[in-house]
Amino acid sequence: MPLSPPLRVVQWATGAVGRYSLRSLITRPDFELVGVLVYDPDKVGQDAGALVGLPEAGVTCTDDVDEILALDADCVLYMPLPASFFGGNHPNDLETICALLATGKNVITTTGFVYPKCYGPAVVERLEAACRAGGSSLHGTGINPGFMSDTLPLALTGLSSRVDHIFVRESSDFRGHPSRQTVVDLFGFTLSPKDYVAAVRPFRAYQRALFAESVQFVAENLGVALDEVDERDEFELAREEFETAAGPVRAGTVCASRWTFSGLVRGRPFMTVECVYKADATRVGRWADPGFSIHIEGVPQFMVRVDEITHGLAGAAAHAVNSVAALCAAPPGIRTALDLPLAIGRGTARLA
């Protein structure tokens, strides 16, 4: 039986997550890298392989969107920072994703779109129209959202005869995260309380929309109609100065934050997602230690805990990369986690 030709894939953005997926696209024989879109002017013109410490891949990085749109590709891994980070002159993610879909490219993104239905019928119709125009499909994924706060808890409810409340907690340590764009500009660590409140305003709206997707996805697939999704957040200040990979955190500046998203029914939470982010978990004792935990309250009642994921960003990238083949084989349209086979690391296993 002849082997299938490799899938032609574009890597869109090469930040903290995109670099992991780019490495997989170059090294795995089931993919052919055909394009790389970058935002950093210093990366433009570089070979994609050199960008991630590999031998030359023969693909030159570009910041020309039209060049990427014109490529013949099966799939685009769309992994930029949220559009709100770049300001008002930057095309929003919906516009860019629709443009890619309309050219016939399937799109897998880590910018949300796990459950686009929660944005309303106008957004869904716009995405579906782009899919129809290009005969393409869209899938939103990642590690959280994309797996820990939606796919996994929904799967675990298969053990339940009654579900009263679902609680998901993520606690992440950013001590080794090298990107100041993410650690400082997005999460607001190292900022004064006043500057933090102003800086995270766009991020707050993005976070609320992102995790509302997960909460509504789980609730609606369990037959629960939520009245609203409530969001609350708070932050912690450093008591002393310490160093991180993204730079120093000085005493009196923000060093951690806690976000809670609750899907409410008649004022009571049906599903709650708690996200704790720490500039350095060894320096911040407040809130939970790094890891993930899922509590299913009902009959039976149980908890699943992942004590540590050594490279969470690598996990987010891998989940996207491992979904490429399934999405390319799927019918055109918006595809959630329930529409695709389980994404596993097929073809990447290595024996010691």
The CATH number for 51's domain is: 3.40.50.720
104-120 confidence digits (pLDDT tens): 999 999 999 999 999 99
Q: What percent of the chain has pLDDT over 70?
A: 95
Asked if 217 and 115 touch (Cβ cutoff 8 Å), the reply is yes
Compute the average pLDDT of residues 5-28: 96
Q: Are residues 321 and 238 in the same domain?
A: no
How far apart are the two ends of the chain, measured CA to CA in Å?
29
pLDDT recorded at residue 28: 96
- Report the run of H or E that residue 156 belongs to, with start and end: helix 151-156
Domain assignment present for residue 132? The answer is yes
Q: Are residues 251 and 126 in the same domain?
A: no
Please name the residues in contact with 4: beta carbons below 8 A apart, sequence gap of 6 or more. 30
Q: Are residues 253 and 281 in the same domain?
A: yes
pLDDT recorded at residue 127: 98
Q: Are residues 202 and 288 in the same domain?
A: yes
Whether pLDDT at 288 is above 90: yes
Domain assignment present for residue 347? The answer is no
- Determine the structural domain holding residue 333 and report its residue range: 7-142+314-339
Total count of domains within the chain: 2
Cα separation values, 130 from 124, 125, 161, Å: 10, 9, 40
Q: Are residues 116 and 16 in the same domain?
A: yes
pLDDT band at 90 (very low <50, low <70, confident <90, very high): low
Compute the average pLDDT of residues 119-127: 96
Domain assignment present for residue 2? The answer is no
| pTM of the complete model | 0.92
Q: Are residues 260 and 230 in the same domain?
A: yes
